[in-house]
Structure 1
Amino acid sequence: MGFFSFKSNEKLKSGADGRNATGSGSIKPSGPTDGDGGFSGSSGRPVALTAEEHHEGVDPLGYMSHLPVTDIIELYTSFRNSLQECPDLVQKRYFVSTVKTLSSQMKLRDFSEKSISTHDGTKLPIVKRVLREVPSVRSRLALALQNFCHVTDWELENEEIECGTGLLATLRGESSRLRSGHEVDEGESAARLIPRMDSFDPTHIYNLVSTTDKLPSMQEMAELIRRTNELLLQEVNVVLVSAPCVVVGDIHGQKKDLIDNVLAAGGPIAPCGTDAVPEGKPDDGAAKPTGRNYLFLGDIVDRGPESLGCLALLFAAKLMAPKSVHLLRGNHESSETNRNYGFLRECWERYPINSPGGGGPTACTGGNTAMDCVWELQSHPLWVLANETFRSLPLCAVVTGEAVSPSALPNCGKHREADRQGGLTLCAMHGGLSPFIAESLDGILAVNRFRDIVDGPLADLTWADPVSALALFSPGNVAAATTTAGNVGSELSDTNNGAPPQQQEGRFQHHRMAVQRSEPVPTTSATVGHVLSSRGRGHNFGEDVTLRFLRKNKMDFIVRAHQCVMEGYEWQHQRRLLTLFSAPNYCGCGNKGAILIVHERGDPELVQFEAAGIQICGAIAAVSPKPSPVPPKEFCS
C-alpha cells in the first residue's frame, strides 16, 4: 500500500547512483495473496488480491501512518546501502530474505518484538531503525521494506542470470550484446576522448537552439549531456512536482512543435529573472503566466527530424532551472530502441566524424553510406553519452496542487470530498503500472533504472499500455485495446458548471476538466489485471489495476504518454487515466497534440493544438509508417 503525505516544493534527493540489476523472468498470476500489495512467495511473482482488497472503501492497513515521501526515500537509501555492502549474490539474497521475513511481522497491528527477538536479523541497522518507531509509523516503514524486497528479488534474479552463461544468459540478451558490443566499445572510446569544458553556459545553448536551426559544437553538446547526467544522478526514481505545472507527453524530435506549441501554450520553462528566453513564440498576443514547473513524460528523441535539438533544449533548460524542469524516461530513452528509430542516425548526420579506422560511418554493406543501413549503424560518441544520461532519468512523478497536511488525509475508508478540496494529487509516468511494484510508490522507488530497458518493472513503467476487459476478447490489436469506451470529445466537454469547453482565439483550444473526487471503485466487468503486451515488451494493465493504485496511494488520476491519440489526449478507466501526446501530426497521421496544465488552485486544464509545420518522421518513415512505435527487431514476436 502507498501511504504518503505530499508536500508542495518537496525536494526529493538521494544518492541514487547505487546501482543493482532489475529483475527478470516471466510473470504468472498464481497462488494466494499475502494481503500486502498483491505479492506472495520469495520469487516476487504477482498474485490476485483478496476480496477485502477489492471491496469498496476497505483499507485493511488503515492503521498505518501517512508519511512524507522523503521518509520512504531515506529508508530506501539505507536499504540499498546495506544491500551494496553484501559481498556477493548469496549474501544479498540472504539479506533480502531476512528483511522480508521480519518486515512481514513488523507491519502487523498486533506486532510484538518478542515474536522476533531470537532472529539474527534484529541486529541489522535497518531493522533496528524501524523498531524504534511508534507502532503506526513502524508498520508503514515495515510495509515499505517489504515492497522494496519484492522488487529487489527481481533485480537479484536478473543479476544472477546476466552473470551466468549458457542458454538462459543468451536468451536474456547476451546475443544482443555480442552483436553490438564491438561497436559500442568504439563509440564509448570516442566519447571518452571528448574533453571536458571548464567554462560552460547552458543559457547560451538554450537560446541558440530555440531561436535558430543550429546546434552547439560537439564538445559543447557532450558537456551539456554530461552535466545533465551528473544532475540526474542526484534524483530518485519518484520526483515530486508542485503546481502550477505543465505536463508534456511525447515530443519525438519535433522541435518546432516543442517551441511554437508546447512552450507557447504552457508559458516560460525557466524561472523569471533568468537571462534565457525559453517561452517560445507568443500565443497571438495572449498574456503568458510565469513561474510554472514543467514535467516531460519521456520520448524526447526518435521518429521526428530534430531529436538532438529537443535534447539540447530540454537538457539546457534542466541545467538552467533544475527545480522547475523535470524529465522522465520513456521507452525511446534506451539504446536498444533509439539505435533503430532515428536518433543514432541523426547523430551521424548532424555530427559526422570518421571512425578510428578511417572508414567513417560507412562500413556496412548494401548501401553507399551508413545512412542506408538503418539497423547497422556504428555507435556515435554523442549517442553513447546521451544513452548514459537517459539511464539516469527518473521513472515517475507525483504532481500536487495545494499542500495537503497529513492530518487532512483520511487514514482509512472513503475519501471525504471536504478533505480533498484543493489537494489534487496525480501520478505521472511514461508507460503505465507494473505487476511488480506492489501497487505502490515504494516499489517504483526500488526499481533499478540505470540500465537499458529489457524487462521487469522498468519495461512496464516505460512500455505498458492500458486495456479494457472488452478489448481482450477482440482478436488481438493494440488499437482496440487502447481505445476508450466513450467519446473522447465528450469526455472533456465539461467544466465545473457543465458549460462547453472554453474556446480561445488563436491556435490553442483550452478545456477545463472537473476532477472526480469520489472513491474509485473497480467494476467486476472491467477487471483484467495485467496481461502480456502485444508490443513484445512488458505488460498492459486493466482498469482494476489503475483504480486500486489510485485508492491505495490516495491520488486523483494517472497521466501517462506513450501512445499517439488523435485528439492529443484520451481518457480511460472511468476517467482516472489520461493519455497525453504532445507531438501533433506524428509521422504524418494527422493527430492533434496536447499538454496538461495543473493550476495551483482550481481544476486542471488541457490545451490542444495542431502541428506547427510539416513533420517528417525521420529515417524510419519509409520502413515503419505506423504511428505507434514498436520494439527493435530482436524483440518483435
Structure 2
Amino acid sequence: MNPGRVDAIIERLLNVRHCRTGPDAPLNADDLYAVSQAARDIFASQPMLIEIEAPVKICGDIHGQYLDLLRIFDHCGYPPDSNYLFLGDYVDRGRQSLETIALLFAYKVRYPLNVFLLRGNHESEDINERYGFFEECIRRFDVKMYKHFSDTFAWLPVAGVVADRILCMHGGLSPSLDHLHQIKSLPRPLSRVDQSGIMCDLLWSDPDSSVRGYGDNDRGVSHVFGPDVVESFVKRHDLDLICRAHQVVEDGYEFFANRQLLTLFSAPGYCGEFDNKAGVLSVDPSLVLTIQIIDPLLDNKKRRFQPNGQFSTSNSSRIDGVSPHKRQASGSSYVYGKN
C-alpha cells in the first residue's frame, strides 16, 4: 500500500484528537478496505507467536474508546517514535470501534516493525456480532465492511514474546500448552474460535488466586488458573513475566502470582460506567518496566471497585502485590531479571 495514502488516512483519523465529544472521523470505505487488506497480508506473513524487541509499550483492552486510544498516544508517544504491542479487544462496547481498528491497522501497515497487534476474544465473529462492532459497521457502512474486518481478524497472531523474557497474550494460560512452539502451529484463518483448546484459552482464560491448578471459569468458556500454574510455567519456560489483558482492573494494572503475571486494561472509564484508570506497560531496552497510568475523562461519579475486584460505590485503591511506597502518580518502575 502506498505510504502516502496510509499517511493521509492516519492524518484524517488523528484530526479528531482534540475534540472531547468524540465526533466520527471521516472514514472512506475504499480506504478502510485497503488498510484492512494490507494489514491482513502482514498478519498472514507473521507467525502466531511473534517475537518483539524492547523498547516497547504494551496496552490492554481498548474496546472502541477511540479518544482514549489517542490519549494513550498523547501520553506515551505516537508511532514510530514509540513502539507498541496491543493485546487485543480493539472493538465492541465503545462507540468508535471503526476509528480504533482503522488507526491501529494503518499504523501496522505504515510501521510494521514498530506496531504489533494480538488477537483478543472480541476479534471473533461470534462475539463482535453481538457486542457492538457488527451494528456499528452496518450503521455506518454495510455488512461487507464488517465481513472484511472479520476476515482480517481471523489472521491476527495470538501471542508475543518481548525480549525473550515477557510472554504476552490477551487471556491467559492453557492446561494444553506445554511448549511455546505449540502456539506457532495453531491454525489460521479462524473467524470463530472453538470453545476449548489452546487458542481458546489464550484468548479467554483468567487468573484466580482462590484455585490451585485449573478450574471452571464463570464466563462459561475456558478455565481459570491459580498462582501455582503461573509460577510453574514461568520457571519451566525461563520467563520473567506473563502480561495479559481481558479483565477490568481499577488502576489499569494488577499483579498476580508474586508479580509473575500482570493484567493490563487500557480503556479508562470503561463504557462510561466505571472510574477505572488505563494502564500502559513500558519496557525499556534494559527490561526496566514502567507502568504509566492514565485517568478517565469522567466528571460524574461512577461505580468503584471493592478490594475483591467487584464494583461498588466506595473507594478502594488497593492492588494486590504492589507495595504502597512503590506506587507513584506517574507510574511505578520494576526491574525483572534472573538472579
Q: Which amino acid aligns with 2:201?
A: D
- Tell me how far 1:338 sits from its aligned partner: 0.2
Question: Separation in 2 of the partners of 1:205 and 1:311?
Answer: 12
Q: Of 602, 607, 611, which aligns to 2:296? A: 611
Q: Which amino acid aligns with 1:595?
A: V
Question: Separation in 2 of the partners of 1:614 and 1:398?
Answer: 38
Matches within 5 A, 1:113-262: 201-212=5-16, 213-260=24-71, 262=72
Q: Which residue of 2 aligns with 1:467?
A: 208
Q: Which residue of 2 aligns with 1:301?
A: 91
Unaligned runs of 5+ residues in structure 1 are 1-196, 271-289, 354-379, 401-423, 473-527, 616-625, 628-637
Question: Separation in 2 of the partners of 1:198 and 1:239?
Answer: 25
Q: Which residue of 1 aligns with 2:186?
A: 447
Q: Of 432, 436, 440, which aligns to 2:176? A: 436
- Tell me how far 1:434 sits from its aligned partner: 0.8
Residues 201-250 of structure 1 deviation map (CA, whole Å, 9 limit, x = unaligned): 11111111111342321121111111111111000011111111000000
The 8 Å contact of residues 558 and 578 in structure 1, kept in 2 or not, is answered as yes
Determine which structure has more spread, i.e. the larger CA radius of gyration. Answer: 1
Q: Which amino acid aligns with 1:210?
A: L
Question: Separation in 1 of the partners of 2:248 and 2:76?
Answer: 20
Residues 460-494 of structure 1 deviation map (CA, whole Å, 9 limit, x = unaligned): 000000012xx34xxxxxxxxxxxxxxxxxxxxxx
The 8 Å contact of residues 12 and 25 in structure 2, kept in 1 or not, is answered as yes
Residues 268/530 of structure 1: CA separation in 2 closer, same or farther (3 Å cut): same
Q: Which amino acid aligns with 2:79?
A: I
Q: Which residue of 1 aligns with 2:78?
A: 268
Residues 602/347 of structure 1: CA separation in 2 closer, same or farther (3 Å cut): closer
Matched, 1:593 2:278: yes
Q: Which residue of 2 aligns with 1:548?
A: 232
- Secondary structure at the counterpart of residue 310 of structure 1: helix
Unaligned runs of 5+ residues in structure 2 are 17-23, 301-309, 312-339
Q: Of 101, 108, 129, which aligns to 1:339? A: 129
The 8 Å contact of residues 394 and 449 in structure 1, kept in 2 or not, is answered as no
Matched, 1:427 2:167: yes
The 8 Å contact of residues 3 and 110 in structure 2, kept in 1 or not, is answered as no
- Secondary structure at the counterpart of residue 293 of structure 2: strand
Percent of aligned pairs with the same residue? 37
The 8 Å contact of residues 51 and 161 in structure 2, kept in 1 or not, is answered as yes
Question: Separation in 2 of the partners of 1:317 and 1:529?
Answer: 39
Question: Separation in 2 of the partners of 1:614 and 1:309?
Answer: 24
Question: Separation in 1 of the partners of 2:213 and 2:26?
Answer: 46
Matches within 5 A, 1:476-625: 528-587=212-271, 588-601=273-286, 603-612=288-297
The 8 Å contact of residues 247 and 295 in structure 1, kept in 2 or not, is answered as yes
- Tell me how far 1:614 sits from its aligned partner: 7.7
What is the TM-score of this pair, normalised by structure 1?
0.44
Matches within 5 A, 1:284-363: 290=81, 292-351=82-141, 353=142
The 8 Å contact of residues 436 and 443 in structure 1, kept in 2 or not, is answered as no
What is the TM-score of this pair, normalised by structure 2?
0.82
Residues 589/431 of structure 1: CA separation in 2 closer, same or farther (3 Å cut): same
- Tell me how far 1:269 sits from its aligned partner: 1.5
Question: Separation in 2 of the partners of 1:340 and 1:269?
Answer: 32
Q: Which residue of 1 aligns with 2:319?
A: none
Structure with the higher helix share, 1 or 2:
1
Structure having greater relative contact order (Cα 8 Å, sep ≥ 6): 1
Question: Separation in 1 of the partners of 2:297 and 2:189?
Answer: 35
Q: Which amino acid aligns with 1:450?
A: P
The 8 Å contact of residues 250 and 561 in structure 1, kept in 2 or not, is answered as yes
Question: Separation in 2 of the partners of 1:568 and 1:428?
Answer: 16
- Secondary structure at the counterpart of residue 594 of structure 1: strand
The 8 Å contact of residues 465 and 541 in structure 1, kept in 2 or not, is answered as yes
Residues 177-202 of structure 1 deviation map (CA, whole Å, 9 limit, x = unaligned): xxxxxxxxxxxxxxxxxxxx999711
- Secondary structure at the counterpart of residue 7 of structure 2: helix
The 8 Å contact of residues 60 and 264 in structure 2, kept in 1 or not, is answered as yes
Q: Which amino acid aligns with 1:539?
A: H
The 8 Å contact of residues 299 and 331 in structure 1, kept in 2 or not, is answered as yes
Residues 613/255 of structure 1: CA separation in 2 closer, same or farther (3 Å cut): farther
Residues 254-276 of structure 1 deviation map (CA, whole Å, 9 limit, x = unaligned): 0101002x112221212xxxxxx
Question: Separation in 1 of the partners of 2:298 and 2:128?
Answer: 24
Question: Separation in 2 of the partners of 1:540 and 1:445?
Answer: 23
